[in-house]
Structure 1
Amino acid sequence: MIALVLAMVWARRGQTLVVALLALFGVAAAVAAPAYLRAADRAVAAGQVETATPNELAVAVRAYQQDVREDKPGAEPRGPDLERSGTALAGLPGFDYVYSMEFPAIGIEPSIAYATRFAYRQDVCDHLEMTAGRCLVGESDIVLPEQIGRRLEIGAGDSVSLSFALRIVPRGEPPFYVKNGAAKRFLVAGLYRVPDPGDVYWGSRGFINPGASLPAGAGLPAFVNSATIHAMDRGAVDTGLDAFPEPGALDVDKLPAVRDGLADVRAGVTAFQGGVELHSQLPDLLARIDSGRDAGHRIVPVLAVALVLLACLTIFLAVGYGTEGRRPELAVVALRGARWGQRWWLATGENLVAILIGATAGCLAGQLLVNAFAAYRFPGVGADPGLESLRWAPVAAGAAVLTALLAERRQIATPVAELLRRAPSVPDSARAVAADLVVVILAAVAVVQLSSTLRGVGTAAAALVLLAGSLVAARLLVPLATVLGRRALRRGRLGVALAGLQLSRRPGAVRLFALLTAAVAVIGYAAAAVDVAAGGRSDQAVLGTGATRVLHLAPTGRQNLLAAVRAVDPQGTFAMAAVTLPSEPGAPSAVAVDTTRLNAVAAWPSGGPAATRIAQQLHPAAAPPVNVDGAQVTFDISARFAQGKAVAVTAVLSPREGGNDEVVELGVLRNGRHTYGQSVQACARGCTLNSLRIVGGQGTLDVAGVLTVHSINDAPSDVLNDPAPWRASEGGRIGAGAPGGLEIEVTSLNGLPDGMFVHPASAPYPLPVAVSGVTALPAIDNLDARATPVDVRASLPAVPGAGSPAVLTDLDYADRLATDGATSSNAMVWLNDKAPEDVVAALSAHNLTVIADVRAADVRKRLDKQGPAIALWFYVIVAALATALAAGALVLAAAVDRERQVEDLSALRGQGLSRSALRQATLWTYPVLVVAAVVAGTGVATVGWWLTGWALPLAGLDPPALPLAAWPRLLTMLLTAAVTTLLLAGAAVLAGRRTLRGIS
């Protein structure tokens, strides 16, 4: 019997090969999913490590060591000593450790306002590039930054003396440094520069930090060796132990050990009982890796299940078609009295052998496919093949066998008379409709389950929806082939009529159309997911960043920021100033920008008002500012307050041509009319008055009175005589106005520790804002962290750089309403793609220090290496396998039908059927079926995406607050349908040509 089955396999080896290939694809899909997840896990971890910053990779332990000169001889040092005890913290496997010590020194800088950073760092010479001389050798060697060498005219071979320095912070005056140790003479062995300041070797605290507002090189360390540090007469020092990973230390299979090591480091720091600090963003990186892996493990199975179901449907069709072609053979076996078991074996043995061969090959093919794809898409990462990838292979193989048995069951149970019919009846029984209805019900249950989680039954929701939609489409559309065939016959179009009637009379026509529709639906769903995710990553990168490029700055004044950006880009074509406003946790984020450049620079969300319209609403016309010109600032003020009530006035002035705000203390007012002034060199070229602060003396209660500002330098008198362009905060009010000047009534300063404020009305009040995701917003925290009433002028889908909920306002007006005159530590310059290459240098020339350069392209690169983006590449594999399954089913169907078609059409040809009609009947049958299936499949994919696509974590498990795309682009779906049509119709045409060649 076995020999007979093998002979049957050989006799129909083409058909057997197709069934084996279909089984191969099904098992390969089951193997490829877990294999791809293993490769994706490795790629996610490698991608996150590759794009991580030094702060995210390094672990820094810091300790402040007390003055060793105060210790008794032979006594243990007071405070933690990382040099002796640091090994207790070296618990991270695969990490290198670097010990460092640093303290301030003076002796070579001409100013005592800042000190030289005197430092030792382990193995530092391996990370320096000497521009003159050599690196450290002896105990008296020192290497200096090349900038210091140029500025102070110090070269290799020169001698310098340095002493330990103590920082003195006098009350009300700037800090300075004094000598606090014996001087030591050093030989300048060389001058250095750092080739890669971003190298993780330098740790997470910015060891190579040039410092803001310091002379060139003054913020960089002067390096010595360990012996020199200990030989110095020194006081307290900062010590550090930095850990950074070796290559491969953060591979996905090593992450559990790293987590355990990090816990040991935390325990070691706690054991010091104070004095030691642990700084690391490594836990955030590990959490991001876990989140990416989890997202991938949710995304991949969705279409893996669909592909396995599609493979089972294909095998069911292939076996059913093959068995249909063997009806006379099965009838002869039944007529000869074969036993039931023999009939089953002869009917199923051929397909079981093919499935066994295909399943065995599929185990290897699935892993090899993933290996090849991982080598192409994730070079250097590896696919990590293992037996775990085969855990679903037996299930897939069993499903293929069960599918084959179900497909053959009907023909084996069919009576002999029915098997001998030339034109078998087309099944349209209630049983078949009931089976389709069961699939529809299962799909509905899975969609309901999906509303709670994308796990369990919810994972199969998309697959079941696509399958159910395809079955329904087949039930509705295939009968149309009969209608169209009869209509064509009545019109004399014999070729079209024969093509339609051939499809409608084939018992497997419904299943074939359902299969093709399901394959196209899977392909369309995969294309939709990839396109939506790509659009979302683009929005995250550009809209989430705020602009094509964002420069983050060291602390600077807001008017200085505006003046510098406008000087670098006077036309407003490529640069825009921006500052993130302070906000309480849970409150909407707020961004203030130079709205005059909003349309030219900012990334703007689609679906909302135009940027030009928003700019007009946020920057309406306002009164001109009050100018204060001259290096000597003078206020003529009359005051009337009760005796013993001390009241002080402070003015905040903003230089018009750049520079940080000047806070001018006018001092305590005296009753009567007096002149108060100070020298403010920054106003030599002109300033504007930002605010006046009126505050009561310490312990003074119930302050009330009146003060009149008669003049401010050369400000026009009408500005002070008119109360309209002025406003006062809580605690007072602007007087009715008099020719003598600006009258300010102080009603009470109780409960106002910051006093009351008077502003020129040079900004609209309340502050105009645009909001996103906010329903009611009475006020926001302004740049001075004080609540400022707002006027909501517009609603946006998202605020560039902040998302939703968020607030957008004008930086100039927000600053005019601020009262602090302080610098902002979150200032930015947004740039578009027209910004010149030297824009950073140009900004630096206008006293702006760039500390970070964030590009939307780099953000997109990081997003492309996260879990969702990596997982979606599996959908490309799914689309390719689905196309192969559909093409294989078409080829098999044509092969099974070929003999009967050749006989029928040859007979019709002999009776006078034209060659043209013959070609139409032969070549149009399956291509027309393909076109109909593509149209129906695309519709099913759209419905499936509507029902289930929202659940895919395409932007990660914690998506950003941005209006990300929810639907694929129409062009993407049309191109996908067109390519699918070309591939499947091409396979159908080739199969039809072979049939045409067999017709005599």
Structure 2
Amino acid sequence: MISLVLAMIWSRRGQAVTLALLALLAVAAAVASPAYLIAADRAIAVGQIATADAAERSLAMTAVQNDREAEGDGGGQFDFKDIGSALIDLPGFTYVYSAEFTAIGIQPGKQYADRLVFRQDVCSHVRMVSGRCTAVEGEVIVGAAAAKRLRLVAGQSITMRAARYSDDPVNPGYLPDGKPKNLVIAGTYRVDAPEDTYWGTHGYFTAVSGAGPGEPVFTNAATFAAIDHGDTAKAVDGAAGPRALDPDRLDDLRAGLAALRSDPSDLGTAIAIRTQIPELLDRIDAGRAAANLLVPVLAVPLVLLACFSILLAVGYGTEGRQPELAVVALRGSRWWTRWWLAIGENVASVAVGAVAGCVAGQLLVNAVAAARFPGTGVDSGWSSLRYAPYAALAALLAAVLAQRRQLISPVVNLLRRNPVATNDPRALAGEAVILLLAVVSTGQLIISDGALTGVGMLAPAFLVLAIAVAGARLLLPAVTRYAVHALARGHLGVALAAFQLSRRPGARRLFALLAATIAVSGYAACTIDVAARGRAVQSGLGVGADRVLDVGGSVYRSQLLTAVRNVDPDGRYAMAAVRLPSAGHDEPLGLAVDSTRLAAVAHWPSDAPPVGRMAGRLRPDAPPPPIFTGPDLTIEASGTGLDDKSQLRLLVSVSSTSGAGDSLVQLGKIRNGRFRYSQSVGVCQQGCRLNGLQVVAATTITEVTGQLVINKLSTSDPTGPLADPARWRMTKYGTLAGDPGGLRISLDAPDGLAGGAWISPADAPYPLPIAYSGAAPLAGSITGAGGGPLPVRPVGELPAVPQLGRHATLADLEWADRLATDAGRALQPQVWLGPGAPADIVDRLSVQGLTVVGDTRADQVRRQLDEQGPALSLWFYVLAGVLSVLLGAGALVLAATVDQARRIEDLSALRAQGLSRRRLAWATSWTYPILVAIAAVVGLVAALVTWLATGWVLPLAGTDPPDLPLPTWPGLLTVLGTTLAVSLVLVLVAAGTGRNLRRRVTRKERPA
């Protein structure tokens, strides 16, 4: 019997090879999914580690001790050698020891001091510009920029001493805190890679406001110990190396860090541990979780498609062998002999293909991993084959199930040429089950709010299959009607091609398979396209600009605005931005930007109004503000009807026009009669803008009434603003009116002056124009830059505010600052940069007094997103699309091969009866291409419907997506292009089978 089965295989070796290849693809698809997840898990870890910053790859143990007290106790509070035992569970780290204290002696004045630092092996990580590095006790090296600014040279003697900061409001600054020490500058240095992990997270080179680039004074251990000093910051910085960040040992790293933090007894309670490695590990875990959700979503329909292709292929082949099976049945063979002869040929082919598929699936993933994840390596174990036996068993069951009818049918049915009715109740029941599973699984997704678990995970697979099967049932009868009409009109070739599709029992299943093939490829294209455009939104609109610099320290809004405008006076590449405060969860986040540069710098939402038009709406024209031209502020006023018990006082809020900052100046007591205030304000050395006048009560007396006339201001326009009350604004506690002597302020506060009465110049639009995303601000107001409620006037709606997302407001920074009048600091100050920003922009901002403490780049964020789980897992979708096309093409070739014998007989008979060569060409060349063309339409619809029903649940932006308008629908050209490409491949395969059929028919016509 075995020899007979082998002979059958050899006689139909083309079909056997095709079936084996289909089984290979089926098992390879099942092996590819876990194998790819294993490779992706490693790639996610490697990618996130490679794109992590220094803080996410380092560990810092710090403590502050007073070395004088430590010497008095006869020992140290923090000794480097005492922590070694605590770090045994953290192998793979390279440790650097450092200590520092604040020192004075080379900086002029009391406002600035230097960081005197000992750092292990510092000479190997700096580039000497002049002189040499420290070698003996008493030597230091200073930064090249500091040396140039302070006129220091190598070989020069200096004197330094420890210092402490005094916050005395009368005389703040750094005071001596140790004995002076004579030192020699051994050389000047420059650091080429300040972001290197070696430097840890100490911010050694962060720019200092007013002093330029940060450059510590480095020295050796002997010099550091010889200088008299008190409070000393000591640290051990551990840089995680390849061994510590081995993708296969990340769990050990997490456990070691947890143990170090949970039991500080080995280190001592005075030592603080600071690291962002757990955040890096959490991001890796989140990426792996997303990959473990995304890959099975398309792996399941791919495996079902593979089983369906085997079912179709075996069914086609068995129908072609029905005469042989009828002869076996007529001879009265025993049932096991009949079954063995029926299934032996196909089972053998499937078994051989299944074994080869185990190897092919792993090799295929290895090839993809080598191309897409170079250097990450692959798992050397057998875990990727855990689903291979199930896939092989499913393929064998599909092969047996496809032959069930031939195994149990009577001989008379086996001898029929068209034995299967298209409306067979069992076929209808099977299709109904598929439709029911699609409805149930999709409903599960909706009910569970998108949880990709249980039956919900199968929703894409069943939806694709249900639409493909339904399309076959609905469209192929239409092909029959078309064939009848074509025959009636005399189009014999077209009619023969159409009848071949409609009358062939397996054509409906082949059509469903081709439609599902195109649908799987289309769904993969939808996912990849939406994810790629989503990452572009996250890295562009989410960051806000090509590059965003975070400004540290206490910076005034006007100071930030002036500094950025000084750096970029033409507004080509830099824009100041600050956050607006929020009063609670119900109020959206707010962003204030220099809208004159919005179009040149910001990344703008694609569906928003044009950025230039919106910037113009945010910044309408406004009168110029009153300006004090020098540091001396003089105000003359007179009061009438004021109650002395109220003890009213007058304050003035000003902002420097040169970027020196803001100030709220107390002028003095308000009284009846005429009086004059005069005060010198330091920030107004080069001029100041008047933000507003404030009247406050020094007592708790509730009712405040009376009149105050501002007679004179020492501004550049002393009469214009005062002469016209329309140039001023008073929102509560009184009214304004003109007066022969100036501006009349009528106070009327029955309940007191809570927060003071502000009289502000009308030099900004009021209410403040804003654009918003999400819901419009409640009650027509937001929390202004000064912290109080601010009336606003919406001028446009946006899909999202850059950086803040879909629930936020956007305003002009200068107008928001002028309406604030609080002389307060900026909230989260930033500088947004466009593509034309120069390379030394940080140094230029430092010259203007801004300290840059953070640097976020859109391209860096995009690289990080491209290395996260969602992006890396979608390469499996490319692989799945290719495998689905191969499955469809293989099934198409097998179906055409099985059909050839019968079609050769039919077409040869028609040729003998006068069928022309042109009509023969139509009948042979267009049968399967027409089938592919119709299947392409159904497959496209299936892909789009499946995406509409299930695409919203895919974690394409990670497990914690940002509040941004991420795309939810694929690009039309992407979907159409993918459908056309897949259809073209299948059409070429179909055309090849048609040419072979026509050639064999023509060869049969030739005389022997």
Question: So what's the TM-score if we normalise by structure 2?
Answer: 0.93
CA distance in 1, matches of 2:203, 2:565: 30
The Cα shift of 1:236 comes to 1.1
Cα distance in 2 for residues equivalent to 1:602 and 1:550: 10
What is the CA–CA distance in structure 2 between the aligned matches of 1:198 and 1:752, rounded to whole Å? 52
| Residue type of the alignment partner of 1:50 | A
Aligned to 1:9: 9
SS at match of 2:273: strand
The residue that corresponds to 1:991 in the other structure is 993
Distance in 2 separating the partners of 1:571 and 1:809 = 21
Of 417, 421, 429, the residue aligned with 2:412 is 417
- Correspondent of 1:208 among 205, 209, 215: 205
Match for residue 921 of structure 1?
923
Counterpart CA distance in 1 for 2:584 and 2:14 is 68
Residue 213 of structure 1 aligns with an amino acid whose one-letter code is: G
Does structure 1 conserve the Cα–Cα contact (< 8 Å) formed by 2:418 and 2:505? no
Give the letter aligned to residue 690 of structure 2.
L
Letter in 2 for 1:207: Y
Whether the 8 Å CA contact 1:269–1:278 is kept in 2: the answer is: no
Q: CA deviation at 1:109?
A: 2.8
Structural mapping, 1:685-704, within 5 Å? 686-697=687-698
Q: Residue 594 of structure 2 contacts residue 813 of structure 2 at CA under 8 Å; is this kept in 1?
A: yes
What is the CA-CA distance between 1:843 and the residue it aligns to? 5.0
Are the equivalent residues in 2 in contact too, given 1:35–1:385 (CA < 8 A)? no
Of 13-22 and 378-387, more deviation after overlay is shown by: 378-387
Return 717-726 or 95-104, whichever deviates more.
717-726
* Matched residue, 1:652: 653
CA distance in 2, matches of 1:993, 1:984: 14
Shift of 1:702: 7.1
SS at match of 1:826: strand
The residue number in structure 2 matching 1:957 is 959
**What's the counterpart of residue 866 of structure 1?**
868
Match of 1:196 in 2: 193
Task: Say whether the 8 Å CA contact 1:777–1:792 is kept in structure 2.
Answer: no
Tell me the CA shift for residue 645 of structure 1. 5.4
Quick one: structure 1 residues 385 and 952, their matched pair in 2 at CA, closer, same or farther if it must change by over 3 Å?
farther
1:969 is aligned to: 971
Q: Secondary structure at the match of 2:98?
A: strand
Q: Work out whether residues 471 and 938 of structure 2, in 8 Å CA contact, stay in contact via their aligned partners in 1.
A: yes
Q: Please report the RMSD computed on the Cα atoms of aligned residues, expressed in angstroms.
A: 2.7
Of stretches 424-433 and 945-954 in structure 1, the one that deviates more from structure 2 is 424-433
The answer to whether the 8 A contact 1:624-1:762 is kept is yes
Candidates 882, 891, 894, aligned match of 1:892: 894
Equivalent position amino acid for 1:55 in 2: A
Q: Tell me what 1:590 maps to.
A: 590
Range 138-147 or range 578-587, more displaced:
578-587
User: 1:34-72 CA deviation, whole Å, 9 max, x = no partner?
Assistant: 111111111112222222222233232322112x32457
Counterpart residue number, 1:802:
804
Does the residue aligned with 1:206 lie in a helix, a strand or coil?
Answer: coil
- Following the alignment from structure 2 to structure 1, what is the Cα–Cα distance between the partners of residues 470 and 58? 57
- How far off its partner does 1:199 sit? 1.1
| Contact 2:728–2:761 (8 Å) recurs in 1 | yes
Letter in 2 for 1:28: A
Contact 1:726–1:734 (8 Å) recurs in 2: no
Q: Answer yes or no: is 1:122 the counterpart of 2:124.
A: no
The answer to whether the 8 A contact 2:638-2:673 is kept is yes
Q: Residue 466 of structure 1 contacts residue 521 of structure 1 at CA under 8 Å; is this kept in 2?
A: yes
> Structure 1 stretch 677-686 or stretch 55-64: which is displaced more?
677-686
1:588·1:804 contact (CA, 8 Å) conserved in 2? no
Q: How far apart are the structure 2 equivalents of 1:762 and 1:50?
A: 51
Secondary structure of 2:477 counterpart:
helix
Equivalent residue number for residue 98 of structure 2:
100
1:706 and 1:271 mapped to 2: Cα distance? 71
2:490 alignment counterpart: 492
> SS of the residue aligned with 2:958?
coil
Q: CA deviation at 1:700?
A: 8.6
Q: What are the equivalent positions in structure 2 for 1:500-539 lying under 5 Å apart?
A: 500-539=498-537
Corresponding residue for 1:758? 759
TM-score by length of 1: 0.94
Counterpart residue number, 2:62: 62
Q: 1:353 aligns with which of 311, 325, 348?
A: 348
- How far did residue 237 of structure 1 move? 0.8
Q: Is 1:400–2:395 an aligned residue pair?
A: yes
| Offset at residue 391 of structure 1 (A) | 1.3
1:725-744 Cα distance to aligned partner (Å, 9 max, x none):
323355x3244442222334
Shift of 1:491: 1.6
Task: Name the aligned partner's letter for residue 758 of structure 2.
Answer: F
Q: Distance in 2 between matches of 1:272 and 1:569?
A: 50
CA distance in 1, matches of 2:25, 2:260: 49
Pair 888,224 (structure 1): closer, same or farther in 2 beyond 3 Å: same
Query: What letter corresponds to residue 583 of structure 1 in structure 2?
Result: S
Q: Note if contact 1:61-1:240 (Cα within 8 Å) is conserved in structure 2.
A: yes
| Equivalent pair of 1:574/1:831 in contact (CA under 8 Å) | yes
Contact 1:83–1:99 at 8 Å: present in 2 too? no
Identity %: 50
- Corresponding position of 1:454: 452
Post-superposition Cα deviations, 1:856-888, rounded to whole Å, max 9, x if no partner, equal 222222211111111111100000000000010
| Structure 2 residue aligned with 1:579 | 578
The reply to whether residue 283 of structure 1 matches residue 282 of structure 2 is no
Q: Secondary structure at the match of 1:724?
A: helix
Give the stretch that moved more between structures: 441-450 or 161-170.
161-170
1:182 maps onto 2:179 in alignment: yes
The aligned amino acid for 1:444 is V
Measure the CA separation in 1 of the matches of 2:130 and 2:924: 84
What's the counterpart of residue 135 of structure 1?
A: 133
Residue 366, structure 1, aligned to residue 361, structure 2: yes
Q: Is the Cα–Cα contact under 8 Å of residues 737 and 743 in structure 2 kept in the other structure?
A: no
1:118-138: per-residue Cα shift (whole Å, max 9, x none)?
111223223222223333333
2:920 partner amino acid: L
Tell me: CA distance 1:696–1:285, structure 2 relative to 1, closer, same or farther (3 Å): farther
1:168-204 Cα deviation digits (max 9, x unpaired): 23223332232x3233333433322112111122222
Say if 2:625 is the partner of 1:615.
no
Residue deviations 1:47-104 (CA, integer Å, cap 9, x gap): 22222222233232322112x3245745444x55566347536653432222221101
* Paired residues for 1:151-166 under 5 Å: 151-166=149-164
Q: Which letter maps to 2:293?
A: R
Alpha-carbon distance in 1 for matches of 2:957, 2:245: 23
CA 1:928 to 1:171, structure 2 compared with 1: closer, same or farther past 3 Å? same
Determine the C-alpha separation between the residues in 1 that align with 2:753 and 2:74. Answer: 53
Could you say which residue in structure 2 is the equivalent of 1:300?
A: 295
Unaligned runs of 5+ in 2: 1004-1008
Q: 1:898 to 1:191 in 2, by over 3 A?
A: same
Q: Establish whether residue 250 from structure 1 lines up as the match of residue 248 from structure 2.
A: no
Alignment CA distance shift 1:548-1:904 (3 Å): same
Matches of 2:820 and 2:145, distance apart in 1 = 38
C-alpha contact 1:537 1:955 (8 A) present in aligned 2? yes
* Contact kept? 2:206, 2:853, Cα under 8 Å: no
In structure 2, the CA distance between the partners of 1:90 and 1:156, relative to structure 1 (3 Å rule), is farther
- TM-aligned CA deviation for residue 785 of structure 1: 2.7
The answer to whether the aligner puts 1:784 opposite 2:786 as a matched pair is yes
**Gapped runs of 5+ residues in structure 1?**
none
How many angstroms apart in 2 are the aligned matches of 1:810 and 1:295? 39
After superposition, the C-alpha distances for 1:657-681 in whole angstroms (9 at most, x for unaligned) are 5443344443455664333223346
Report if aligned partners of 2:537, 2:966 keep a CA contact under 8 Å in 1: yes
3-state secondary structure, aligned to 2:726: coil
Aligned to 1:468: 466
Counterpart of 1:783 in 2: which secondary structure? Answer: coil
Correspondent of 1:813 among 807, 815, 826: 815
In the alignment, the residues of structure 2 paired with residue 749 and residue 174 of structure 1 have an alpha-carbon distance, to the nearest angstrom, of 41
**1:749–1:755 contact (8 Å) kept in structure 2:** no
Deviation (angstroms), 1:752: 6.8
Tell me by how many angstroms 1:233 deviates. Answer: 1.6
Task: Tell me how many residue pairs correspond in the alignment.
Answer: 994
SS in 2 for 1:625: coil
Give CA-to-partner distance per residue, 1:123-160, whole Å, 9 cap, x none. 32232222233333333332221223333343334433
